[in-house]
Chain A
Amino acid sequence: MSNTLFEAQSISKKYGDFVALDNINISVPKGSIFGLLGPNGAGKTTFIRIINQITLPDTGNLLFNGREFLTKDIEKIGYLPEERGLYKKMQVGEQCLYLAQLRGLDKVEAKKRLRFWFEKFGIQGWWNKKVEELSKGMAQKVQFVVTVIHEPELLILDEPFTGFDPVNASLIRDEILEIRKKGATIIFSTHRMETVEDLCDSIALINKSKKILDGTVSEIRKQYKTNTFRIEFIGNLVNFTNAIWAGAELLDKKQDGDHCTVTLKILGQNSPNSLIANVLPTCQIISFNEIVPTMSDIFIKTVQAD
């Protein structure tokens, strides 16, 4: 249990007759980046609010570091909600100090750390500016700083990259990885599947208030493999198809003179090696790749099947 930071056991939540969460079990390994996925309205936000103790679950337990999740543990969490903002009329520095103090830092420490972060992001000049003078991306940067200022053990980020240009998005991405390297655990909610593949170690997929899939990203992708391969070769397409006909099914083909690209599914117990052995005499192979489903494919497939 020691390598699980956060665990939710059979969490359910109802609003009147509407079931927002139905018996959710999730465990987040320590030091991992955990993707919380699901279509709009699936219950992700409710679940995240429960983790943040904003909403109380009707039933179920939450464990933090293997013990009961207490009110004061909230100070070990950093939360960047999807619906986020700052006081427009307040100065940036003053506001950051206020929010840092609300997270339990004392004023002196908060000031010291803010100075460090402002320098790191090159935004020292913003201290006395009002938030309404900042662009959306600038405000997002300030918000990120405020979220991580108290060095939380658990960082919950809901769509952290929206509003950032690619340069700043990659800056934030690097920061997230850096924070993880220092030992923090990150729960990450997003609709962008490419960032899930890029960053997440494991995921849980919630749909219609229920968890329908979870595990590590590599496992899940392996699980959804369909034994499909793409082969690029120079040679005669007819000879090639004749050579494979018993062991594989041809899904797609492209021909440009004698340069061909085919997508095929290996059938039954046949292995890729035997397939290559069969086709080797007929052509010159340029590339041979397994087609692993993307998280996006898996997302769409599982949600639609549900």
Chain B
Amino acid sequence: MGKIGLIIRREYSTRVRKRSFIIMTFLGPILMAAIGIVPVWLASVNESVRIVQIIDESGTVEYKLKSSNNIKFVYSQQPFNSAKKQLEKSDFYAMVHIPSFKDGDLVHLQRNIKIYAYSQVSLNVKVYIQNQIEKQLEREMLKAENVDQAIVERTESTIDVQIPVIELADVKNKNASADVELSTALGAFSGILIYIFIFLFGAQVMRGVIEEKTNRIVEVIVSSVKPFQLMMGKIIGIAFVGLTQFLLWILLTAGIYTAFLGSVKQKFSSDNIEMIMKKSPDGTSVDDIDKIMSTQKAIERVNQINWGLLIPCFIFYFIGGYLLYGALFAAIGGAVDSESDTQQFMLPITIPLIFSFVMAQTVLNDPTGTMAKWLSIIPFTSPIIMMVRLPFKVPVEELIASMVCLVLGFVFTTWIAAKIYRTGILMYGKRITWKDLGKWLRY
């Protein structure tokens, strides 16, 4: 153990002091945050206020369409033809023409409403206009059917339907009403995390082995320790590097998150809520209350997840998956002379990984299906697929089978890798083929 400990320590200490490690540590959370923030920001930047001109000859929608933050409706009495001619030079983003209609034939009218524009109209603008006009026409139709306007307005107040799923199979579990959206997000997220970890740090194992080989230091080292010790020391050392990196990412992200939460809390402190409540006739304040309510709901939903199972399982699959693939990466590193030679051997490793990544989508749609079941038991796909499935209920026997298979799979790949590695690291200047690898297994 003493010498393996030395190797682990060297692998760890040289790597965490590298500039690239420090940069990645800070860049990681920023990138993660950027993935969340940039699309929102871009959307907000892009959608400057767009003014849509309404030419309403029918008089049905006039002054009744609701403008949004970035779509403003203006109404014009101009004749349609001249307005159409002026559109190109005007500041209007688009123009909506609602022709006049006879005999209250709203069905006929809705077929003849058109949007005119000189540039491509973005989809959300189009959908927004459609929704608004649809709503207004609905009102008109109800009016035509002699429905009381007061009733119409009352029913229109927003109805927010949240339908919880009660799992009857597990009555004992009080927190049985698992939230599908959150489970999906959680499953996908942990699956992706494991996928990234295996690729990132598995490749580091491979590069480390190649480095030792091309530096020609490997023979000096294996004259002091067994090749197996060197291989395992490297895999474990790099695992610690990865865990450190992830821990730092989590801490930094948590830091950013609490800072963000702090600002949100200040905004919605109880005093503020009361003030908002008082202001409630104003539309925006109602939105704010909705936000507060949904935040509280979100917290409830987070508490419903079975973290006591998820977290230990995540750690298990995280480490198990890495060790399984790490050994294979080490074997490849041992077999080749330079990184450019790794291509042909990388394929069989990357295929099951990418396959499970792609299949994650299918599994999310049907987390209890046969496909999901088998992929979460086969050790080459289980680290990702099982994590995707876990937030949904997984039978205990399947979980145990999956874990046992992963451990066996790890022992198996390590055994194979050790054989390839110990022969490969002392072979120089020969292009290795699959046949050679087969031969090495029998040495």
> B193-251: which residues lie under 8 A (CB-CB) from chain A?
211-212, 215-217, 219-225, 227
CA distance A36 to B53 in the complex (A): 96
Give the chain B neighbours of A85 by CB distance below 8 A. Answer: 215-217, 220
The winner among B14, B217, B227 for most chain A CB atoms within 10 A is B217
Give the chain A neighbours of B217 by CB distance below 8 A. Answer: 84-87
Distance to closest chain B CB from A132 (angstroms): 10
CA distance A143 to B219 in the complex (A): 12
Q: Is A83 an interface residue (CB 8 A)?
A: yes
Given A16-B439, A89-B14: A77 and B223 interface contact (C-beta under 8 Å): yes
Give the chain B neighbours of A75 by CB distance below 8 A. Answer: 224
> B74-93: which residues lie under 8 A (CB-CB) from chain A?
none
Given A74-B224, A83-B428: A88 and B219 interface contact (C-beta under 8 Å): no
CA distance A247 to B374 in the complex (A): 94
Q: Is B3 an interface residue (CB 8 A)?
A: yes
Establish whether residues A102 and B3, one from each chain, have CB atoms under 8 Å apart when the complex forms.
Answer: yes
Establish whether residues A79 and B14, one from each chain, have CB atoms under 8 Å apart when the complex forms.
Answer: no
Give the chain B neighbours of A104 by CB distance below 8 A. Answer: 224
Given A98-B10, A101-B6, A102-B6: A84 and B219 interface contact (C-beta under 8 Å): yes
Give the chain B neighbours of A86 by CB distance below 8 A. Answer: 215, 217
Distance to closest chain B CB from A59 (angstroms): 15
Determine the residue in chain B with the shortest Cβ distance to A14.
B443
> A140-188: which residues lie under 8 A (CB-CB) from chain B?
143, 146
Give the chain B neighbours of A52 by CB distance below 8 A. Answer: 223
Establish whether residues A87 and B220, one from each chain, have CB atoms under 8 Å apart when the complex forms.
Answer: no
Determine the residue in chain A with the shortest Cβ distance to B221.
A102
Give the chain A neighbours of B223 by CB distance below 8 A. Answer: 52-54, 74, 77, 79, 81
CA distance A89 to B18 in the complex (A): 10
Distance to closest chain A CB from B109 (angstroms): 75
Determine the residue in chain B with the shortest Cβ distance to A55.
B426
Q: Is A99 an interface residue (CB 8 A)?
A: yes
> A1-50: which residues lie under 8 A (CB-CB) from chain B?
15-16, 49
Establish whether residues A81 and B220, one from each chain, have CB atoms under 8 Å apart when the complex forms.
Answer: yes
Distance to closest chain A CB from B211 (angstroms): 8
Determine the residue in chain B with the shortest Cβ distance to A90.
B14
Interface of B is mostly: helix
Distance to closest chain B CB from A116 (angstroms): 21
Establish whether residues B6 and A84, one from each chain, have CB atoms under 8 Å apart when the complex forms.
Answer: no
Distance to closest chain B CB from A296 (angstroms): 27
Distance to closest chain A CB from B442 (angstroms): 8
Establish whether residues B6 and A98, one from each chain, have CB atoms under 8 Å apart when the complex forms.
Answer: yes
> A87-133: which residues lie under 8 A (CB-CB) from chain B?
87-90, 98-99, 101-104
The winner among B220, B225, B428 for most chain A CB atoms within 10 A is B220
Write the A207-241 contact mask toward B (1 if CB under 8 angstroms, else 0).
Answer: 00000000000000000000000000000000000
CA distance A101 to B14 in the complex (A): 16
CB contact between A102 and one of B212, B225, B428 (< 8 Å): that residue: B225
Q: How large is the interface on B (under 10, 10 to 19, 20 to 34, 35 or more residues)?
A: 20 to 34
CA distance A87 to B7 in the complex (A): 13
Determine the residue in chain A with the shortest Cβ distance to B216.
A85
CA distance A87 to B220 in the complex (A): 11
Establish whether residues A83 and B219, one from each chain, have CB atoms under 8 Å apart when the complex forms.
Answer: yes
Give the chain A neighbours of B439 by CB distance below 8 A. Answer: 16
CB contact between A81 and one of B6, B219, B442 (< 8 Å): that residue: B219
Determine the residue in chain A with the shortest Cβ distance to B3.
A102
Distance to closest chain A CB from B220 (angstroms): 6
Give the chain A neighbours of B10 by CB distance below 8 A. Answer: 98
Distance to closest chain B CB from A109 (angstroms): 15
Establish whether residues B220 and A99, one from each chain, have CB atoms under 8 Å apart when the complex forms.
Answer: yes
Distance to closest chain A CB from B329 (angstroms): 19
CA distance A170 to B346 in the complex (A): 47
Distance to closest chain B CB from A96 (angstroms): 12
Determine the residue in chain B with the shortest Cβ distance to A45.
B426
CA distance A228 to B442 in the complex (A): 54
Give the chain A neighbours of B215 by CB distance below 8 A. Answer: 85-88
CA distance A146 to B223 in the complex (A): 13
CA distance A49 to B7 in the complex (A): 21
Give the chain B neighbours of A98 by CB distance below 8 A. Answer: 6, 10
Determine the residue in chain B with the shortest Cβ distance to A83.
B216
> B138-192: which residues lie under 8 A (CB-CB) from chain A?
none
CA distance A54 to B3 in the complex (A): 16
Establish whether residues A84 and B220, one from each chain, have CB atoms under 8 Å apart when the complex forms.
Answer: yes
> B1-43: which residues lie under 8 A (CB-CB) from chain A?
3, 6-7, 10, 14
CA distance A89 to B212 in the complex (A): 11
Distance to closest chain A CB from B240 (angstroms): 17
Give the chain A neighbours of B7 by CB distance below 8 A. Answer: 102
CA distance A16 to B6 in the complex (A): 35
Give the chain B neighbours of A49 by CB distance below 8 A. Answer: 426
Distance to closest chain B CB from A75 (angstroms): 8
Determine the residue in chain A with the shortest Cβ distance to B215.
A85
CA distance A89 to B419 in the complex (A): 28
Establish whether residues A54 and B6, one from each chain, have CB atoms under 8 Å apart when the complex forms.
Answer: no
Establish whether residues B222 and A54, one from each chain, have CB atoms under 8 Å apart when the complex forms.
Answer: yes
Establish whether residues A79 and B443, one from each chain, have CB atoms under 8 Å apart when the complex forms.
Answer: no
Determine the residue in chain B with the shortest Cβ distance to A102.
B224
Give the chain A neighbours of B212 by CB distance below 8 A. Answer: 87
Distance to closest chain B CB from A97 (angstroms): 10
CA distance A283 to B426 in the complex (A): 63
Determine the residue in chain B with the shortest Cβ distance to A80.
B220
Establish whether residues B220 and A146, one from each chain, have CB atoms under 8 Å apart when the complex forms.
Answer: yes
Give the chain A neighbours of B225 by CB distance below 8 A. Answer: 102
Write the A51-80 contact mask toward B (1 if CB under 8 angstroms, else 0).
Answer: 011100000000000000000001101011
Distance to closest chain B CB from A118 (angstroms): 19
Give the chain A neighbours of B428 by CB distance below 8 A. Answer: 83
CA distance A104 to B223 in the complex (A): 12
CA distance A91 to B211 in the complex (A): 16
Given A83-B428, A86-B215: A103 and B6 interface contact (C-beta under 8 Å): no
23 A-B residue pairs with CB within 8 Å: A15-B443, A16-B442, A54-B223, A74-B223, A75-B224, A81-B216, A83-B216, A83-B219, A83-B428, A84-B217, A84-B220, A85-B216, A86-B215, A87-B211, A89-B14, A90-B14, A98-B10, A99-B221, A101-B6, A102-B224, A102-B225, A104-B224, A146-B220
Other A-B pairs, 16, CB within 8 Å; known A15-B443, A79-B223, A81-B220: A54-B219, A54-B222, A54-B227, A54-B426, A81-B216, A84-B216, A85-B215, A85-B216, A85-B220, A87-B14, A87-B215, A88-B215, A102-B6, A102-B224, A104-B224, A143-B220
| Chain B residues within 8 Å of A, Cβ to Cβ | 3, 6-7, 10, 14, 211-212, 215-217, 219-225, 227, 426, 428, 439, 442-443
State the 6 A-B residue pairs at the shortest beta-carbon distance, nearest first. A85-B216, A85-B215, A102-B224, A81-B219, A52-B223, A79-B223
